[in-house]
A = this chain, B = another copy of it.
Amino acid sequence: MARAWHLKSRPTGMPTSDNFELKETALPELGEGQVRVRNRWLSVDPYMRGRMNDVKSYVPAFQVGEPLEGGAIGEIVESRAEGLAPGDLVLHMAGWRDEAVVAARGVNKLPNLGAEPQKFLGVLGVTGATAYFGLLDVASAKPGDIVFVSAAAGAVGSVVVQLAKAKGMTAIGSAGGEQKCGFVRSLGADQVVDYRAGPILKNLAAAAPDGVDVYFDNVGGDHLDAAFALARNNARFAICGMIAGYNDPNPASFRFIMRIIAARIRLKGFIVFDFQSRMDEFYREMGQLVASGAVKAQETVTDGLENTPDAFLGLFRGENTGKMLVRL
């Protein structure tokens, strides 16, 4: 019997462990073109919170009573699909469970970049690609730019800081608490702002006296407002996430949004999946940066399938530095 986390009820505001239920499920017989995968690593990500609401979005909502999904790295243990054999390590979306039967078109063998498998859930996976395309494409960040990134100790933010430095930019990161700020500093950030130590606007103004050219937004709310206030002319904002609002039913309010006009700010929201066709470029470039040590992969690892909801909830309590992973 496989075990899989199901959505027991839809969270209102901040999710709790009561919203999740671990259930045993019999796996079906393997059909033609299918493989059975035993998961080794599971990804938990802030965007999954959005899928727990009953709203139309870019990925379908999770259904109450149904298993949750998410990125996972597993080992094929049985195959009825050409080109996939037992022992192959694959990336797929049947996470939040220990074993799954999936169609061959839903799995991808890990690229041969000499990296540990779980890296393909983090710096060499969706989170790394989010940082890469968000910074360099969506925000058009260029050498010499002053880049501000929020949640800079997080999975995406920690890669943004390192990428910015590797590409000759000034990197300013925000994080909550002295420990995380120290971590962001260790990544090479030029300035670090502790958003728990006072108003983000005041502290960012001190850290970025010349303003910011690029804002990589993972947070929204006060961080985004501070970036409006301090944007230089023709600043570009890549809007990747707004975690401050995911569990907050109140509308976000902005004192400085009007600066969009005077400073000619460009904001653009993006979804990493839109860059699917450029993943070869990403693997090549990021593979080199990781191999050379220019970009390091920080991970926070939780052990055991039974702790998956805790790991997920920890994202909103700010418990991770770098990529949050569950190891089975």
B264 and A266 within 8 A (CB): no
In the complex the two chains form, what is the Cα distance from A240 to B261 in whole Å?
Answer: 6
- Could you give, for residues 219-245 of chain A, a 1 whenever the CB lies within 8 Å of some chain B CB and a 0 otherwise? 010000100000000000001111001
Of chain B, the residue at the smallest CB distance from A239 is B260
B267 and A242 within 8 A (CB): no
Kindly specify which of A34-42, A62-70, A246-254, A281-289 makes contact with the partner chain.
A246-254
B251 and A253 within 8 A (CB): yes
Is A116 part of the binding interface, using a Cβ–Cβ cutoff of 8 Å? no
Q: Which residues of B contact A220 (CB under 8 A)?
A: 257-258
Is A255 part of the binding interface, using a Cβ–Cβ cutoff of 8 Å? yes
Assembly of this chain: how many copies?
A: 2
Of chain B, the residue at the smallest CB distance from A268 is B266
Of chain B, the residue at the smallest CB distance from A265 is B269
Is A1 part of the binding interface, using a Cβ–Cβ cutoff of 8 Å? no
Closest CB-CB distance, A35 to chain B, in whole Å? 31
Is A26 part of the binding interface, using a Cβ–Cβ cutoff of 8 Å? no
| 8 A Cβ contacts from A57-111 to B | 57-58
Is A183 part of the binding interface, using a Cβ–Cβ cutoff of 8 Å? no
In the complex the two chains form, what is the Cα distance from A269 to B235 in whole Å?
Answer: 10
In the complex the two chains form, what is the Cα distance from A241 to B259 in whole Å?
Answer: 10
In the complex the two chains form, what is the Cα distance from A308 to B146 in whole Å?
Answer: 44
* Interchain CB contact (< 8 A) of A270 among B252, B261, B268: B261
Known A252-B253, A253-B252: A258·B242 in contact at CB below 8 Å: yes
Is A271 part of the binding interface, using a Cβ–Cβ cutoff of 8 Å? yes
B267 and A262 within 8 A (CB): no
Is A290 part of the binding interface, using a Cβ–Cβ cutoff of 8 Å? no
Count chain B CB atoms within 10 A of each CB in A242, A262, A269, A274 and give the residue with the most.
Answer: A269
Q: Which residues of B contact A258 (CB under 8 A)?
A: 220, 242, 245, 252
In the complex the two chains form, what is the Cα distance from A266 to B266 in whole Å?
Answer: 7
B271 and A264 within 8 A (CB): yes
In the complex the two chains form, what is the Cα distance from A258 to B243 in whole Å?
Answer: 10
Closest CB pairs A-B (n = 5): A260-B269, A253-B253, A261-B269, A251-B253, A251-B255
Q: Could you list some 23 contacts between A and B, CB below 8 A? A: A239-B260, A239-B261, A240-B261, A241-B261, A242-B261, A245-B257, A245-B258, A251-B253, A260-B267, A260-B268, A261-B271, A262-B271, A264-B268, A264-B269, A264-B270, A264-B271, A264-B274, A265-B268, A265-B269, A266-B266, A266-B267, A266-B269, A267-B267
